Structure 1
């Protein structure tokens, strides 16, 4: 590329700075000339008074100019920083530079389908001539959506590294500011720089993290200007991605968001703007195994102690960020325990600390310890014997931030849709604590508060939303009430008849009562198992998966398996 072309691009990007430097230079030269003339006049004067009078004029002029320059510079810098640079909102921000992005494609673990789709984008950006020969055009936008911590930003950096193009990164929340129109101005400046980089290097990638901050649907302003500014930012983004421009620039926008694309402005989602939409979900069992191997390889661990397959099964519904955090937390625990390597014990402690919270320094009385032990034993036995998909991985009566005790149970693999039996099993598991306390102590405690809340939540949704009530009433009554009851989406008490509401509430109670009867029958039948499990839990305080399995096998019990 010729030096003249580089000079033209540089001038287009920095013409304001060049103009200010030129004006300052002219002013400086003029000041020097005036000052020299004053000094010369002072030397040539004969009279002392004339010499004093004439010599003071250029000096006064010089000091006036210096004072004016100082105050004008301070005012200009502050004014530009406050109104166009974000003011106080820019403090502490750090812009990601393209040379700081160094994520290789092989370092993106798992999500093979996502990588296959993204790799096609990489190939198109690398070899644009092949696409142009058939009359095609490079995509303008790629939207990465999915839950937090699943690798959206990581994948965007890997794309930029593989393509070898300049990478301009910005967070959506940094674009908007306290001044109306600031977001649109920042977007113009961002894409101006991107087009200049594309002209110099043949292309440029603009990555907008949390793009939903500037891509929400446009609405009418409520009178304070905030929505008008947000609308202007969306309009500017629409124009920059697919506006009326004579020159087609090879600028690709990659957006990342945690929200559903239906919550974004429809004009952004159409073809010609975000042409490709890739959903990055939670990793599968195989991906979790690969992720654990990758992050464990970065620390010292005992491969004979840690079974990666077992750890991956325990980490169902964990994101890549969660898995990275588990490995990091396990290494910290190993250092605290003065160990040279991470073992399975540290991995389990790390998962407990992340999932269950920190231990609380609470001292139970013997009576309280017994009550909590039977409470958690009720959960564990019902989950083990009645739940069609979940395994019981841990039972504990050690107080933690989430409660005085806990039973951790979940499926070994992801489930994306559930039937009526699954929800009924969840209700029965939550009610196991209530029934166990009642059978053992002939009374119940306030510890069942959250359990009752969970049971009511499942039963309520089964009846009001999913058509699973025993009376036969079908329909998503909650959604209808919210959609048609009020134009703003708030529910109204007049949409459903009182008779229908009473029938729905009766269905909720029927489900709760039916589940209570089944759980009471089970725990009454398994009274010996309840006693054994509660005593083991009271003595050991924590029971892991293998210990729980051993107790049930000794009692001749097998868990319910889903057909």
Structure 2
């Protein structure tokens, strides 16, 4: 009952001027009618004839006055037109949020603290006032903020931080004040309010100060800090949720101190189970073939965000529609992923000799990845031009890894050299297509030696942070020699492998020339035909394969 009373009072607070204006207009109309009735008929007719002109004149004058008043005296450009969204209109619950279970559990705790703020206050604890969501784009920060508002049953005010910024001085601070004033009114009427500020780094970066004073960005952020401080002493149940894709180191420390945005929720990209759940969620929204395996799709899309998965499913539906099919098939899904990851196929005229050299180049990458890489599996090989490449071998890790050991880094160098080795083994020469491979291999080798202490000479330390001129020529020479040795040894191992597996090498190259593309199942079948079991899939590798495995990956 108390909140109903508050809502009536809130209605008159927000719309009192409109009600008073309507009542005043009605009184004036009645007085005018009474006055007209008291006039003689001649004067009454003259007055009635002038009323339309007077009415139009009054409207124009009122409009001009209102425009001047609103722009000069009521903030003008600083005006904020955001409307609150009630919780039942948001209608997103935690059950609708999939793929980020850990973050969802943390947010459930936030909801409990918001709901039980009275109990927390009685115990003597501090009421939760600010939450900061940190994570990559497309991982559901806005979505989960809406779920918090729905679960708490509170109105939801959402703004992007960039909406506070304007070229005019003081506009940003004014908009911050208006946002929190509106939140306080809603909290008074509904028992609380959730404010969501997206892309917080646009207004929350570390402040800069100079002899010329602070900028408009500092003023806006200072006002936000003041409003957040004001929540601590307020009786209204207002919770501010900020979201950012940037590192928290970018944000001003004053924003993150206790009492402001002190509760941090880290929202990361989903793991294998999370991606499978997201695929299942979006596949339910389209007509698809029952043979589509969400788990297999999840295995292929390591590193995908929920937004990227949704985009892939929508793209597959478009492909099925263009191909005049009523349901999405597995081929539609794989083509959608190829378009997202590799780009559209380009109608480029390639002569037979260049196409053949591209096939042997990509075959070198394929065999090096399949037999030498301990973590990555080959999902596709293609010699159909895409973007600025004539061919591609698509490979991804079979599971999530958050660090790389020496063997994995060496394997990446060997895979990069696969194309160069394939061209040299087959033709005794190479093409300009190896430039990006060399760049990748050199970058990894330099990192191993100069930063990670993985060179043969055992020089340990991050030599890239040593100021120029403080490293002796002997140390620089040794580091460069270690780098070149890693490159040469890796290239020799790949060339030896391709010469030893010459029959397999030729078979894959001819298959690519004939078909243009090889899918995962076709690649697996050819390797099994030659007795090369996938150790990443089937576990233990055969003795003939163990020679080509890094030490940590040998059976």
1:174-221 per-position Cα deviation (integer Å, ceiling 9, x unaligned): 111111222211111111111111111111100111111111111125
Match 1:434 to one of 404, 420, 426 = 420
> 2 CA distance for matches of 1:520 and 1:128?
68
Residues 20-419 of structure 1 aligned to structure 2 (within 5 Å)? 69-77=62-70, 83-85=77-79, 100-221=89-210, 228-243=215-230, 246-303=233-290, 305-401=291-387, 403-419=389-405
1:327-382 per-position Cα deviation (integer Å, ceiling 9, x unaligned): 21111111122222222111111111111111111121101110110111010010
> 2 CA distance for matches of 1:77 and 1:251?
28
> 1 CA distance for matches of 2:93 and 2:350?
52
Q: Is the 8 A contact 2:453 2:462 kept in 1?
A: yes
> 2 CA distance for matches of 1:316 and 1:59?
71
Change (3 A) 1:474 1:197: same
Change (3 A) 1:237 1:530: same
Change (3 A) 1:22 1:292: closer
Change (3 A) 1:63 1:409: closer
Aligned with 1:421: secondary structure?
helix
1:215-272 per-position Cα deviation (integer Å, ceiling 9, x unaligned): 111112585x8x6111112212212112387533211111111111122111111221
> 2 CA distance for matches of 1:395 and 1:515?
22
Change (3 A) 1:465 1:96: farther
> 1 CA distance for matches of 2:301 and 2:490?
29
Change (3 A) 1:427 1:14: farther
Q: Which residue of 1 aligns with 2:429?
A: 443
| Unaligned runs of at least 5 residues, structure 1 | 45-57, 486-492
Give the TM-score normalised by structure 1.
0.84
> 2 CA distance for matches of 1:330 and 1:359?
16
Change (3 A) 1:188 1:501: farther
Tell me how large the CA RMSD over aligned residues is: 3.7
1:139-185 per-position Cα deviation (integer Å, ceiling 9, x unaligned): 11111111111111111111111111000001111111111222211
| Unaligned runs of at least 5 residues, structure 2 | 44-50, 537-552
> 1 CA distance for matches of 2:408 and 2:270?
23
1:527-546 per-position Cα deviation (integer Å, ceiling 9, x unaligned): 22211111111111110111
Aligned with 1:359: secondary structure?
coil
> 2 CA distance for matches of 1:396 and 1:499?
45
Give the TM-score normalised by structure 2.
0.86
How many correspondences in the alignment? Answer: 534
Between 1:93-102 and 1:381-390, the stretch displaced more is: 93-102
Q: Is the 8 A contact 2:414 2:494 kept in 1?
A: yes
